[in-house]
Every structure is written in structure tokens, then in C-alpha cells.
Amino acid sequence: MNALQGKVVIVTGASSGIGQAMARCLAQEGAAVVAGARRRAELDALVAEIAAAGGHAVALAGDVREEAYAQALVQLAQARFGGLDAAINNAGSLGALGPLPALAVDEWQATLHTNLTSAFLGAKHQILALLARGGGALLFTSSFVGHSVGMPGMAAYAASKAGMVGLAQSLAAEFGPQGIRVNALLPGGTDTGAGRTFADTPEKLDFVRGLHALRRIADPLQIARAAVFLVSDAASFVTGSAMLVDGGVSICRS
């Protein structure tokens, strides 16, 4: 039997990159997927692809920074599939990069709002639906940046992603007795549009690869498989963790 057969899972940031790979993997493992992102055309194409492969998915376009959207995704899961068993709050942005003294307050706030506040808004409504189901799993896509590695020029991004780890740990302690597991997933360098924005030349890409013990970056599918594990019953005793799926970047010193 597939690892998520009969489960209903929300995944945000599903129109591309890691989120899109997560949605595909979730569907392949039997989950009914509620896919969220801003770009409607990409979401519609993803839903059609999952349906063509025999899976079940529905999409809702919107802005994760808005509480009404977080609530609407949960309501869609309940209306179309009868409830919610897990949610992956994956949407995010690199935000403004550069030296901290040059960072404007609105740039700082925009990055935290997109990455951290959106995770709070998602969890706020997802938890209620999980409790109604008798428990479930929450997952936040964080980063090794701000957790095990400091990167110059990424203060806002690092702070927002580190905040997600703290959020996951607090929620894990608060709702564990009620059957909800909460974890953070910390990918390393991954071949996505956002990653290519950061490593936008062959020289920069070689540098990023060299940071990893494996001397390569991840395919989004490799990160997605780790996410499937964390929201599945295979991880039934895993909560409050910051799980590194980083190709060894956190331990590499050569």
C-alpha cells in the first residue's frame, strides 16, 4: 500500500520547484493533494498531470501572506476530500539579498511575512482541521541557512527560516498530546528557480556544489521524498525535529 493512501494533504508553493515535486510525490503515494500557490496556470497543469496519472488533486491560487487564503485552502480540503490529515507549508522566497545596513525595513518585513508569517497563518487554520480529524502532521520547509550555516547577505532569509524551526518545535510541544506531529525540513542547495537566482553563473553554481559533502545539489524530488516520509506514518515518532536533507553542507569543511 502507498504510504499516504487515503490521506488529504495541503502543500503550498506547489506551482514549481520543491513544492511541485512534493505535490507529485504525495499523489503518487496515494494522497489527495490540495495544491496552493500564486500562479493559477501552473497549478492547473499540475492538477491535470496528477489526474492523468490516476491521482487526486485540486488547486487554489492565492497569496500565502493572506489569512483568508490559508483558511480557504483548509476549507477546500474539507469540502472536496472530507478533511485534512497533513499540511506542508512550503511557500517562500529568498527575499532581498545584500548587506544588512542596506536592507530596508519593508524588505526585511516582506521576507519574514512571506516565509514565516505565512507558516503561522497556515498552521493556525490547519491545526484546527487536524484536531477535528483526531491528529495529523504539519511540516514547514525551512533551510540549513540560519540553522547550521551562516551565509553573508541573507539576514532576512536566515531569520525567517530559523523562525520556522522555532515555530515547529513550539507547536510540536503544544499539540503533541493531541496527536499532531510538527517538523521542519531543511533542504540544502536544490535545483530550483530560486536556487538558480542565487547561483546564476557557472562559477557560483560550482561554488554552491562545492559547499556540499556530496559535491552536488539536490533534485527537488530528493527533497520531496523526505517530506513524504515526515508526513507519513513511517515518521510516527518524529516530532519537533529540524531534519537536514542538505547533502552534507552542514558538516562539510573541505
Find the angle CA(159)-CA(243)-CA(138) to the nearest 5 degrees: 80
Which residue among 81, 140, 144, 157 is the active-site one?
Answer: 157
The backbone region for 101, taken as left when phi is positive above 0, alpha when psi lies in -120 to 50, beta otherwise, is alpha
| E strands in the chain | 8-12, 32-37, 56-61, 86-89, 136-141, 180-187, 242-245
**Spatial distance between the Cα atoms of 73 and 80, rounded to a whole number of angstroms:** 11
**Spatial distance between the Cα atoms of 128 and 113, rounded to a whole number of angstroms:** 22
Residue 218 pairs in a beta bridge with: 190
In the numeric block, which cell numbers belong to residue 65? 501572506
**Spatial distance between the Cα atoms of 194 and 220, rounded to a whole number of angstroms:** 12
Backbone φ and ψ for 133, nearest 5 degrees, come out as -90, -10
Task: Assess whether 69 carries a catalytic annotation.
Answer: no
Known catalytic residues are: 157
